[in-house]
Chains A and B, each alone.
Chain A
Amino acid sequence: MKHIVIIGNGIAGITAARHIRKLSDHRITVISSETDYFFSRTALMYVYMGHMKFEHTQPYENSFWKKNRIELLNDRVEKIDPGKRALDLRKSGTFTFDTLIIATGSKPNMFGWPGQDLKGVQGLYSKQDLDLLETHAPDNQTCKRAVIVGGGLIGIELAEMLSSRNIPVTFLVRESGFWNNVLPEGESNMITRHIREHHIDLRLDTSLKEILSDSQGKVRAVVTDTGEEIPADLCGITAGVRPNIDFLQGSGIETDRGILVNDRLETNIPGIYAIGDCAQLRAPKKGRRPIEAVWYAGRMMGETLAYHLCKKPTTYNPGPWFNSAKFFDIEYQTYGLVAPETSENEQHLYWEDIKAKRAVNIAYDPESELFLGINTLGLRLSHRHFDQWLREKASVAVVLSNLEQAGFDPEFYPDFIREIKTQLTQLLKTT
C-alpha cells in the first residue's frame, strides 16, 4: 500500500482519487487550499446568478469522502522536495508521499497591464474569485458598470453573470468577432449578435491599455487602446488562463508553460505525475494542443492515471476532440476539429436559421471527403455517434446521410435536422 498524495481537488485530481480508490487500497490524500470539498468549477457562474447555491455545485455528499477513504486536507503546498518525497504545507508543515499527483489547475492570465493589481480587478476561476466578485459587484448600486477584457468562454460567462444582476457591461474583445480565433465566421457572428441582444456593450477590435485607480486604490475607469476612458467599478480580466505552477520553482520538476509530462503523464521525476490544466504534454497527438485546459481533458487524464498507477502501464490517448459551452441562451457543441478558417485541406458546409438562433457547420477534407468535425449552435447532437464516425474516419457523405440518427434535441422540437441534411447535401454536391 502506497500513500498517493494529490495536490488539487478539481475534476482531474478528484477523478484520479475516485478511480484509484475503485482500483486499489492505496492511502489517498487530496490537498487543496481552495475549498474543503470538490465542486464543479464550470458551475460557479450559476451560483452568482442565483440558479444554484454553492453546495449544489458539489457532486458528492460530504460523507462520500470518508466512506471511500479519501482523506481531504485543506492546506496549501508551498514547496515540493522530490528527493525527500515531502511537501511543505503552509499549515501542517512537512507531509510525505510515495506517489505525487499534481493537479493544480490554472490561473487567469495577466499581461502586465498598468493597474492590474488594483482592487476591483479580477479574473474568474476559483471559488475565491467568486467571493471576490460578490464583494466587488453584488448589485448595480455598488457596481454601476463593469468592463470585461478578453473575449473567450469565461469572458462571455462573466458578462452573462453580471447582466443577470442588471449591471451594465462593456465587453472588450481584441478580435474582430467574438471568439473568432476558434469559431468560423458564421458561428462567431451569431454569438456576436446574441451578446448584443442581451444589451452587452460589445466592443470588437478593442483592447485594454490601462486601468485607472481612485484615491482608495480601487478601479475607477478603464482606458482602451483607442484612448477612450470607460468608468467602471469592476474590471474582469478573462484573457485566457495559464497553468498554476509557480510553487514548483526550484523543485527540479521540469516545466515550460505547464508541467512537462510524457504520454504516461509522468514528469521528469519518477513517481511524480501531473494531470489536468497544469500539465503540458511533451508530444501531443496530431491536431491537439499540449495544454488543454478543459473539464473533459482533466477528467480523462485523472481516469487514465488511476489505471496507470493501479492496473498496468497506460498511456493518455484521448479520443476525438469534443467540447461544449453555452453562450447566454445559445448552446454550443463541437465534435472533431473545425478550424476558424477554411483552407485547401478543409472546406465547410454551413447552415443557419438566424431567427431560431441555430447553426451547424461541418468541416471536411475536399480531397478525401473525410469528415473532420462539426460545430452546432442551438442544437443538440449525440456525442456517441460523432465519436464513432470520427474514429472510423467516416466520409462527410456518410455523416450527412445518417445525420438524423445523431439528433439529441428534446422531444417535439422542430425537426431541423432534415432541413440541415437536405441543404448541406445539396451544398456538398455543388462544391
Chain B
Amino acid sequence: MDTTTSMSIAADPPAGASILQKVWAFLGTCALGILLLASFNIDLPHRQWWLYGSLTLLTAGIIGYTFEAYKNKPPGIKNDGVWHSSLTNGGLLGWLLGVAITFFYVILYFYPQYLGLGSDGNNSGLVAFFDPLSRLLSGNPASQWFVYGTLYTLGILAFGIKFLWKYRHNRYEKLRTLSVMFFQTAFAFLIPEFMARLNTDDFSLPYYDLKNIWPLNYYNFEQWRIDQFITAGDIGLALLIFGVVSIFIITPVLTYYYGKRWYCSWVCGCGGLAETVGDPFRQLSDKSVFAWKVERWVVHSVLVFSVLMTTAVVHSYLGYDAQKYWLNKDVFLIAVALFLTVLFAAIWKFKKEELQKDARYGAIGYLAVILGLIGIHYLSGSNVFLFQAETLRSTYGFLIGAVFSGVIGTGFYPIFGNRVWCRFGCPMAAILGLQQRLFSRFRITTNGGQCISCGNCSTYCEMGIDVRAYAQKGENIVRASCVGCGVCSAVCPRGVLKLENGPLEGRINSEAVLTGNDLDLLDLIKEEKTWKN
C-alpha cells in the first residue's frame, strides 16, 4: 500500500512533480542554501541584496510550487496522496524534516551564538546577515529572535498564500487565513519593530506583541516588564492595562460569542504557523481516547503551573507593607485565591451537569492551585525549591516556553501533527477551552442522518478530536480543544458539519437521535435514553 512515495509537501499525486514544480523547488532550495552559506560566515558582497533576494526567492519558490500543484485542478479538496507521501504520512522524510527543525530550535533557544549572535550588535553569520532588514525596521541590529521572527512571518505569509489557493472554494478558510497572516505581519512582526523606533535614551517601550495574551505570553507580568511599562509613562501604563483587560474582558467576551477559534485560528501566532506551515501535517494528530486523556492531564497541568508561576513571580516583587502601596504581597495572594474560588464556585453552581464527569479533575486542579498559593505565602524567600519564584520562572521558561512550545511544538510537526503545542501545552488554549466547553455559543452542528462515518473529519482534525464519533450519532461537537479551524466541515463529503454560534440551550445534545428513521422508533430511542438517566 505505502510503497509509492513522493517528496511533495503540497500533497500531489504520487505520479510526481512537474518540471515547473521542480524548478520552483530548486529556486526555494537555492534560497535556503544562501541562508546556510550566510550561517557559515561566507562573506557576500552587497549583503542586503543577498538577504532580500534569498527571502524573495524562498517565498516565490513556495508559492510557485503550490500554484503549479493546484493550477490544473478545479477548486475543491486537495488531499490526494497525503498518506502516500513519506513527508506527510509520518515516514522517513517526515522524521528527517522533524529532526532538522528540532535541531534549528535547539540552536535558536539554547545556542544562539552559533547563529552568529554577538554582544552589543557585533553579530556574525546568519544574525548579521539579517542586520540590514532589522536596521531598516527598528534601527537596531538583528538578534536571533529577529531572524526567527522574519522567517516565521514569511512562513505564515508564503504558506498562507498556499493555503488560500488550496481552499479557494471555501470562504471561511480564506478569511481566517487572511486574518492570521495579518495579525502575524502587523502585530507580531512590524508593530513591535516600529515601537522600538520610538525609544529614546529616557523613554523605552517594552517589546510587545499586543495579541500575545497571558498565559501564552507568560512573561508579561514579570518584574522587568512591569518596570518597563511603568517607566514608559502613560503609553506604558496603557499597554499594561491592555494586557490585563485582554485577559479579563476581551478574551471572555469574544470566546463567549465565537468560541476559542477567534483566537486560536484567527489571531494567534502559534495557531497561525500551525494552520499554514503546519497544514500539510494536520492529519498526523493522534485520535485515540488515550491521547485525549493525556491531553487533558497535561494541558491543565501546564495551566496550573503557569498560574502558580505568575502568581509567585508577581508576589516576589510586591512589597510587604500595605501602607506604602495598596497592592502588597498578602493582598495579591488573597485576591488571586478569592478570584479562583469565586470562579470555581460559580462553575460548580451553574454548570454542574456539564461538569459531572470532569468535576473531580476540576477540583483537583483548584486544590493544587490553592495549596500552591499557601506554599508561596509561607515558603517564599525560603529555599524550598518549588516555591522559589525565580526557580519556578526559569523552570517554566525552559520547560514550557522553550522546550514544549518551540522544540516539541514546532519541531515535531511532521511527526505528531501541527497542533501538539496547542493541544497538549498551551495554557491559553486550556483557559479558552474551559470557557468554550462551559460558557460559549460556539458548537459544530451535524446534519441529521447524513453522516456516512467515512472518517475524513477525524483524520484531518489537527486537535485529534474524533469528530466522526459525534457526527455519526447526530450529536453536536462541543469540545474544549476545538480551535474552530473548519477543516472537518470542509473535507466532509456529505455536507454534515457546520461551525455555528447559537443559543446555549440544547448546545450539548448527547440525547440526539438521527433524523430519517421511523418516528415511533425515535420515540422509543428517546424513551430508552431517559431510562438510563
Q: Which residues of A contact B (CB under 8 A)?
A: 11, 22-23, 40, 42-43, 46, 49-54, 56-59, 61, 134, 138-140, 164-166, 194, 197-198, 295-296, 299-300, 303-304, 307, 311, 314-320, 322, 324-326, 328-329, 331, 333, 380-384, 387, 391, 408-414
Stretch from B205-213, B379-387, B494-502 forming part of the interface with A: B494-502
Q: Given contacts A307-B521, A314-B524, could you give 7 more A-B pairs where the C-beta distance is less than 8 Å?
A: A46-B454, A138-B4, A164-B13, A296-B516, A320-B516, A325-B494, A333-B494
Residue contact B455 to A380, C-beta cutoff 8 Å: no
A322 to B1, CA, bound (A): 35
A240 to chain B, nearest CB (A): 19
Residue contact B447 to A383, C-beta cutoff 8 Å: yes
B251 to chain A, nearest CB (A): 21
Residue contact A304 to B521, C-beta cutoff 8 Å: yes
Residue contact B518 to A316, C-beta cutoff 8 Å: yes
Residue contact A303 to B519, C-beta cutoff 8 Å: no
A300 to B494, CA, bound (A): 18
A304 to B500, CA, bound (A): 32
Interface 1/0 per residue, B374-404 and A, CB below 8 Å: 0000000000000000000000000000000
Stretch from B30-38, B165-173, B219-227 forming part of the interface with A: B165-173
**CB-CB < 8 A to A316: which residues of B?**
518
Residue contact B81 to A57, C-beta cutoff 8 Å: no
Partner of B74, one of A11, A197, A414: A197
Interface 1/0 per residue, B61-88 and A, CB below 8 Å: 0000000000000111101111111000
Residue contact A410 to B77, C-beta cutoff 8 Å: no
Residue contact A318 to B452, C-beta cutoff 8 Å: no
Lowest 5 CB-CB distances: which A-B pairs, in order? A383-B448, A329-B76, A380-B495, A43-B454, A317-B518
Residue contact A329 to B75, C-beta cutoff 8 Å: yes
Partner of A140, one of B15, B486, B516: B15
Partner of B81, one of A22, A164, A324: A164
Partner of A318, one of B11, B85, B170, B517: B517
**CB-CB < 8 A to A51: which residues of B?**
77, 79-80, 82-83, 456, 459, 491
For residue B301, CB closer than 8 A to chain A, the reply is: no
Residue contact B516 to A387, C-beta cutoff 8 Å: yes
A201 to chain B, nearest CB (A): 16
Known: A51-B79, A165-B15. A410 touches B520 (CB 8 A): no
A284 to chain B, nearest CB (A): 14
Residue of A nearest to B176 (CB): A412
Known: A59-B469, A382-B448. A319 touches B15 (CB 8 A): no
**CB-CB < 8 A to B515: which residues of A?**
319, 383-384, 387
**CB-CB < 8 A to B517: which residues of A?**
300, 303-304, 318-319
For residue B468, CB closer than 8 A to chain A, the reply is: yes
A381 to B515, CA, bound (A): 14
Residue of A nearest to B79 (CB): A51
Report the tally of A-B residue pairs with Cβ distances under 8 A: 184
Known: A138-B4, A326-B493, A412-B171. A61 touches B516 (CB 8 A): no
**CB-CB < 8 A to A317: which residues of B?**
518-521
Partner of B80, one of A56, A164, A300: A164
A382 to B469, CA, bound (A): 20
Residue contact B172 to A413, C-beta cutoff 8 Å: yes
B322 to chain A, nearest CB (A): 51
Residue contact A49 to B81, C-beta cutoff 8 Å: yes
A326 to chain B, nearest CB (A): 4
A255 to chain B, nearest CB (A): 25
A217 to chain B, nearest CB (A): 25
Known: A23-B528, A50-B80, A410-B499. A329 touches B169 (CB 8 A): yes
Residue contact B519 to A319, C-beta cutoff 8 Å: yes
B287 to chain A, nearest CB (A): 8
Known: A139-B4, A318-B516, A410-B170. A50 touches B83 (CB 8 A): yes
Near A by CB (< 8 A), chain B positions 93-133 give: none
26 A-B pairs within 8 Å (CB atoms) are namely A40-B452, A43-B454, A49-B81, A50-B79, A51-B456, A51-B459, A56-B458, A57-B454, A134-B1, A165-B81, A300-B517, A304-B521, A311-B524, A311-B528, A319-B516, A319-B518, A333-B494, A380-B498, A383-B448, A383-B449, A383-B450, A410-B170, A411-B499, A411-B500, A413-B171, A413-B172
Residue contact B489 to A410, C-beta cutoff 8 Å: yes
For residue B338, CB closer than 8 A to chain A, the reply is: no
Residue of A nearest to B471 (CB): A59
Partner of A198, one of B13, B14, B74: B74
Residue of B nearest to A329 (CB): B76
A321 to B456, CA, bound (A): 25
For residue B241, CB closer than 8 A to chain A, the reply is: no
Known: A138-B4, A318-B516, A329-B76. A59 touches B452 (CB 8 A): no
Partner of B516, one of A11, A54, A307, A322: A322
A411 to B449, CA, bound (A): 21
Residue contact B448 to A384, C-beta cutoff 8 Å: yes
| Of B172, B494, B498, B514, most A-chain CB atoms within 10 Å | B494
**CB-CB < 8 A to A324: which residues of B?**
450, 452, 494-495
A417 to chain B, nearest CB (A): 14
For residue B235, CB closer than 8 A to chain A, the reply is: no
A322 to B490, CA, bound (A): 21
B141 to chain A, nearest CB (A): 43
A139 to B453, CA, bound (A): 28
A328 to B74, CA, bound (A): 10
A391 to B516, CA, bound (A): 10
**CB-CB < 8 A to A409: which residues of B?**
498
For residue B288, CB closer than 8 A to chain A, the reply is: yes
For residue B20, CB closer than 8 A to chain A, the reply is: no
**CB-CB < 8 A to B42: which residues of A?**
none
